[in-house]
Amino acid sequence: MTDILTVHRLVKRFKSVTAVNDISFSVSPGQCFGLLGPNGAGKTTTIEMMEGISKPSSGEVRLFGEPADRRAYERIGIQFQNTALQDYLTVEETLKLFAAFYPVTLPREELIELCSLGDFLDRDTRRLSGGQRQRLLLALALINDPDLVFLDEPTTGLDPQSRRNFWELVQGIKRRGKTIVLTTHYMDEAQVLCDDIAIMDQGRIIERGSPEALLSRHFDGVMVHLPKSAAEGRTLPFEVLELDDRLEIQTGQVDRTVQQLTAAGIPLDGLQVKSPNLEDLFLKLTGHALRA
Ligand SMILES: Nc1ncnc2c1ncn2[C@@H]1O[C@H](COP(=O)(O)OP(=O)(O)OP(=O)(O)O)[C@@H](O)[C@H]1O
């Protein structure tokens, strides 16, 4: 099957800064591809080159199996972090306004249902809550019934409930067979939505794969956490990672680890056992949390 999006040896330089440094990857149809990385990693610069908003210094972007051109860009939808909406228009009027720009559009009723806009169609867009505004921006990204949708940090600033609601909408879009490219600072979001992930740092891709494959590649078993105070003045019988306020032991055999801790006289108060998630992987690979 032809890849929907291919990026080949993409480079972007801004004077002395190489924001994107020779990256290559491809996205298969129907997948949700996550581009993750700390602040300044080069995600936005990469996304803007894929969307055709900025020109690469070198390298190539291919869309739908062809070099990206005007016709290909008509088949994409973009949810920007900040889209200026026309003042004094309601949600319904805004949908009509944006639909007028395209020769082919998704039927309005379908769009309203897909993005759960039904309850606030008559509301002035300046009066929308954060979650409602994001749903409207998603609808605008889908208005031309695109095959490929770019979502750039779509849930930043939303409360946990609105984020979850938004995830459901994205899953609905996936079920319709659309391909999605997502950037996010939330690892739980990436874990729920993404089939494939690329982690960027300093302009390069440092890891790539499904969330499950990445976790099993980097972690063996589970993590045992202990408060730092537990080990004060004692030598632990195995390798320990020092985090801010706690110690971390990776182990494939929790019961054996607990026995060893007890034998070493370590108090077990506050002990926690945790399965590794993408947040842990991110910390391990980049040395810092996403919002540093
Ligand atoms: N127009 C520009 N001129 C000069 N430098 C730029 C420009 N745009 C981006 N950069 C630099 O390129 C690097 C990558 O920036 P980019 O915005 O792509 O990162 P990001 O991963 O999207 O970060 P964030 O998560 O903070 O949005 C940074 O060092 C940034 O300062």
Q: What number of residues does the chain have?
A: 292
ipTM above 0.90, yes or no: yes
Q: Provide the phi-psi class of 270: left if phi over 0, else alpha when psi is between -120 and 50, else beta.
A: left
Nearest CA to ligand 1 atom 6: 14
- Residue pLDDT, tens place only, 158-205: 888 888 989 999 999 999 999 999 998 888 899 999 999 999 999 999
Q: Which pLDDT score, from 0 to 100, does residue 156 have? A: 85
Q: Which residues, other chains included, contact 173 with Cβ-Cβ below 8 Å and sequence gap of 6+?
A: 114, 142, 149, 180
Rounded CA-CA distance 238/203 in Å is 35
Ligand 1 pocket, Cβ-based, cut-off 6 angstroms: 14, 17, 19, 37, 39-45
Would you say residue 291 has pLDDT above 50?
A: no
- What per-residue string of b and e applies to 77-87 under the rule 16 or more CB within 10 Å gives b? bbbbeeeebee
Mutate to test the pocket of ligand 1, among 15, 39, 45 (most ligand atoms within 8 A of CB): 45
Q: What is the mean pLDDT of residues 265-291?
A: 81
Would you say residue 284 has pLDDT above 90?
A: no
Nearest CA to ligand 1 atom 8: 45
CA distances from 106 to 81, 95, 145 (A): 22, 11, 5
Q: Which pLDDT score, from 0 to 100, does residue 28 have? A: 94
Nearest CA to ligand 1 atom 28: 40
Mutate to test the pocket of ligand 1, among 11, 17, 150 (most ligand atoms within 8 A of CB): 17
**Which backbone phi and psi does 225 adopt, to 5 degrees?**
-110, 140
- Residue pLDDT, tens place only, 127-157: 998 889 989 999 999 999 999 999 998 888 8
Q: Which pLDDT score, from 0 to 100, does residue 292 have? A: 36
- Residue pLDDT, tens place only, 200-238: 999 999 999 999 999 988 888 898 999 988 878 777 777
Rounded CA-CA distance 183/154 in Å is 8
Q: Which pLDDT score, from 0 to 100, does residue 289 have? A: 53
Which atom of ligand 1 lies at the shortest distance from residue 42's CA? 18
CA of 5 to the centre of ligand 1 (A): 22
Contacts by 252-258 with C-beta closer than 8 Å and gap 24+? 252/220, 252/221, 252/222, 253/221, 254/221, 254/222, 254/224, 257/224, 258/224
Which atom of ligand 1 lies at the shortest distance from residue 185's CA? 25
CA distances from 179 to 75, 105, 140, 220 (A): 11, 17, 16, 32
Q: What is the mean pLDDT of residues 55-65?
A: 95
- Residue pLDDT, tens place only, 21-58: 999 999 999 999 999 988 889 999 999 999 999 999 99
**Which backbone phi and psi does 21 adopt, to 5 degrees?**
-120, 80
CA of 200 to the centre of ligand 1 (A): 12
- For the beta sheet containing 272-274, the strands, ordered from the edge strand earlier in sequence to the opposite edge, are 241-242, 246-251, 222-227, 272-274
CA of 59 to the centre of ligand 1 (A): 18
Which atom of ligand 1 lies at the shortest distance from residue 14's CA? 4
CA of 20 to the centre of ligand 1 (A): 9
Q: Provide the phi-psi class of 139: left if phi over 0, else alpha when psi is between -120 and 50, else beta.
A: alpha
Nearest CA to ligand 1 atom 16: 42
Nearest CA to ligand 1 atom 4: 14
Nearest CA to ligand 1 atom 10: 19
